[in-house]
C-alpha cells in the first residue's frame, strides 16, 4: 500500500495498523512501515494506542461521542441483573475508573467522559460523579449521580482531630501572631476597641474571642504534634 493510499484511508477516520496490510502475509508490517513513518514525520498522520492495538488518524482527529461510548462499553462487563457497566480497566480509589482515550489526555476519568459524551455538557472541576448503585467500578450513565465537591460531607459532624487540623491550618495562614491573640483575649474592652487597639478587623476580634477562630488545643498533645509535623 502506497503513502497516498494509506493517507486516503486515514482521512476517512481512525484506522488500525493491521487493516492497512495483508494480515495473511508475514511481511505486511515491513511493507507499510516505511510509508507510515514518512507520513508521521511529515505531520500528515498521528500514531495512537487503541487498547491493545496501534492505530493511525489525522493530527486533529478526536473520537465522536458515539465512538467514545462504544469504545468505553467495549471495555466493560455488563451485569444483566443490576444493569451495571463494570469497568474492566484500571481503577483509582479516589477517582474511580480511569482510561486512556485515543487522541485524548492520558488517564482520564471514565465516568466524566461517559457523562460529557451522553449529555453534551462539560463538567467543572467542582463536579463529582458517584455511582448510585454503590459499585465503585460501575460506569453506566443511568447509575451516575452528579454532585458538588464537598457536598457529600454536608451534615456530617467533624471529628476532634479534623477540627484541630483545620484550626492549625488557619493559624499558620493567619497574620495575627499568638502573642496578639493572648493579649486580645485578656483585653477587657469592646470588640470595636480591641480592633482599634490591635489593628485588626472587628470580625477577626469577634471570631477569636468567641473561640470560633484560633481555638487553643493542647500544645503537647501527640495528635497536635503529628498534624503540625505533617503540615510543615
In a shared domain, residues 75 and 125: yes
Instruction: Mark whether 146 and 174 lie in a shared domain.
Output: no
Question: What is the reported pTM?
Answer: 0.53
Domain boundary among 117, 151, 185: 151
From 112, 130, 151, give the residue that closes a domain: 151
Same domain, 19 and 85: no
- Minimum mean pLDDT among 6-10, 23-27, 30-34, 171-175: which range? 171-175
> Which of 134, 151, 168 delimits the end of a domain?
151
70 and 131 inside one domain: yes
Residue 161 CB-half CA count within 13 A: 5
pLDDT tens column, 88-102: 888 877 788 998 877
Residues 146 and 198 in one domain: no
pLDDT in tens, 20-52: 876 666 676 777 888 888 898 988 988 887 766
By 3-state DSSP, what share of the chain in percent is helix, strand and coil, each rounded to 5?
A: 45, 15, 40
Residues pairing with 224 in the sheet: none
52: how many CB neighbours lie within 10 A of its CB?
A: 5
Claim to verify: residue 88 and residue 51 sit in the same structural domain:
no
42 and 98, same domain (yes or no): no
Asked whether residue 84 falls in the same domain as residue 127, the answer is yes
Instruction: Name the residue range of residue 194's domain.
Output: 160-231
Q: Which of 2-11, 88-97, 137-146, 151-160 is the least confident region?
A: 151-160
Give yes or no: residues 136 and 168 share one domain: no
Q: Where are the beta strands (DSSP E) in the chain?
A: 15-16, 46-50, 53-57, 76-78, 85-87, 91-92, 96-99, 108-109, 127-131, 144-148
Same domain, 72 and 127: yes
Average pLDDT over residues 111-129: 91
Q: What are phi and psi of 198, to 5 degrees?
A: -100, 0
CA distance 13 to 71: 15
- Pair (71, 49) in one structural domain: no
pLDDT over 80 (residue 173): no
Domain count, the chain: 3
Query: 53 and 69: one domain?
Result: no
Q: What is the mean pLDDT of residues 48-69?
A: 81
Neighbouring CB atoms inside 10 A of 32's CB total: 20
Amino acid at each position: 500500500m502506497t503513502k497516498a493510499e494509506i493517507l486516503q484511508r486515514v482521512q476517512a477516520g481512525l484506522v488500525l495498523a493491521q487493516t492497512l496490510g495483508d494480515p495473511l502475509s508475514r511481511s505486511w508490517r515491513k511493507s507499510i512501515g516505511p510509508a507510515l513513518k514518512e507520513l508521521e514525520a511529515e505531520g500528515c498522520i498521528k500514531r495512537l494506542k487503541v487498547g491493545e492495538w496501534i492505530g493511525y488518524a489525522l493530527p486533529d482527529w478526536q473520537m465522536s461521542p458515539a465512538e467514545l461510548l462504544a469504545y468505553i462499553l467495549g471495555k466493560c462487563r455488563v451485569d444483566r441483573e443490576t444493569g451495571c457497566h463494570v469497568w474492566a480497566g484500571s481503577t483509582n480509589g479516589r477517582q474511580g475508573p480511569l482510561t486512556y482515550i485515543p487522541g485524548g489526555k492520558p488517564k482520564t476519568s471514565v465516568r466524566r467522559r461517559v457523562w460529557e459524551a451522553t449529555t453534551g455538557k462539560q463538567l467543572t472541576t467542582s463536579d463529582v460523579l458517584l455511582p448510585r448503585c454503590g459499585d465503585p467500578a460501575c460506569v453506566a450513565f443511568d447509575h451516575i449521580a452528579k454532585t458538588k465537591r464537598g457536598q457529600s460531607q454536608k451534615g456530617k459532624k467533624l471529628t476532634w482531630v479534623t477540627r484541630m487540623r483545620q484550626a492549625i491550618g488557619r493559624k499558620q495562614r493567619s497574620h495575627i501572631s499568638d502573642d496578639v491573640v493572648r493579649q486580645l483575649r485578656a483585653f477587657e474592652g469592646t470588640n470595636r476597641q480591641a480592633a482599634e487597639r490591635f489593628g485588626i478587623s472587628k470580625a477577626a476580634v469577634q471570631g477569636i474571642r468567641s473561640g470560633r477562630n484560633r481555638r487553643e488545643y493542647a500544645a503537647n498533645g501527640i495528635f497536635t504534634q503529628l498534624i503540625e509535623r505533617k503540615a510543615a
